[in-house]
Homo-oligomer: A and B are copies of this chain.
Amino acid sequence: MNFPPPITRLIQHFRGLPGVGPRTATRFVFALLNKSEDELRAFGHTLVDFKHSIRTCKECFNISLQDPCEICSNQKRERTLLCIVARPQDIQAIEETREYNGLYHVLGGVLNPIDGVTPEQLRIKELLTRLEGEQKFQEIILALNLDIEGEATALYLAKLLKSRVPKVTRLARGLPQGADLEYADEVTLINALKGRRDI
């Protein structure tokens, strides 16, 4: 026996999502079988339509309902400070800290030669154009993941940007909140020692 075709089809669609294997997808579909027709209709229509109203900001490449986005068009933001992130959802994470008040630039990924992501595929040309514009940035913060690809991209950008902007920084490296020294990995501990600060 196999599942009826409509169920198999829906399972296939869910399997297209990141990290979803056949068992999780099946679990999702059986959970949905218990939802009302109204809920399923709302879910399905949101899925079909959600992308239509989403714009990509031509300034920073954040996603938004408007172009330029809420951040770029907000005159209260510090316009000499630019934070470079890989993806729009990274902006969300930084905004939630309420600690940053500058502008952003979304690269659209990180360098990854194995997957064929070269500098041409990232929004680096757009970044350089932006730096040459009227708006003079005083500092660029590289806020990329601390994995191999993120680090390589940060080094690449640092080299490229140092001659163009007075200050290029990256996020502090060290022990995360709640860390246990005994279980911290070696690289994190080295970074925490090297970056030690007066208390």
Residue in contact with A92 in the complex, picked from B3, B19, B45, B87, CB distance below 8 Å:
B3
Quick check: is A171 within 8 A (CB to CB) of the other chain? no
Given A47-B40, A65-B4: A17 and B28 interface contact (C-beta under 8 Å): yes
Contact B18 A28 (CB under 8 A): yes
A163 at the interface (CB under 8 A from B): no
Q: Which residue of B lies closest to A53 (CB)?
A: B6
Chain B min CB distance to A101 (Å) = 12
CA distance A44 to B47 in the complex (A): 5
Asked if A134 CB lies within 8 Å of chain B CBs, one says no
Is residue A183 within 8 Å, beta carbon to beta carbon, of the partner chain? no
Q: Least Cβ distance of A85 to chain B in Å?
A: 12
Task: Tell me the interface secondary structure of chain A in the complex.
Answer: helix
Please indicate the chain B residues that have their CB under 8 angstroms from the CB of A13 in the complex: 42-43, 46-47
- B89 close to A6 (CB less than 8 A): no
Please state the number of chain copies in the assembly: 2
A interface residue count range (under 10 / 10 to 19 / 20 to 34 / 35 or more): 35 or more
Name the interface residues of A1-21: CB closer than 8 Å to any CB of B: 1-7, 9-10, 13, 16-19
Residues of B within 8 A of A40 (CB): 47-48, 50-51
Contact A6 B49 (CB under 8 A): yes
Q: List 25 A-B contacts (CB under 8 A).
A: A1-B92, A1-B95, A2-B92, A3-B92, A6-B46, A6-B49, A6-B50, A6-B52, A6-B54, A6-B65, A7-B54, A9-B46, A10-B47, A10-B50, A13-B46, A16-B39, A16-B43, A26-B89, A27-B89, A30-B87, A30-B89, A40-B50, A40-B51, A44-B46, A44-B49
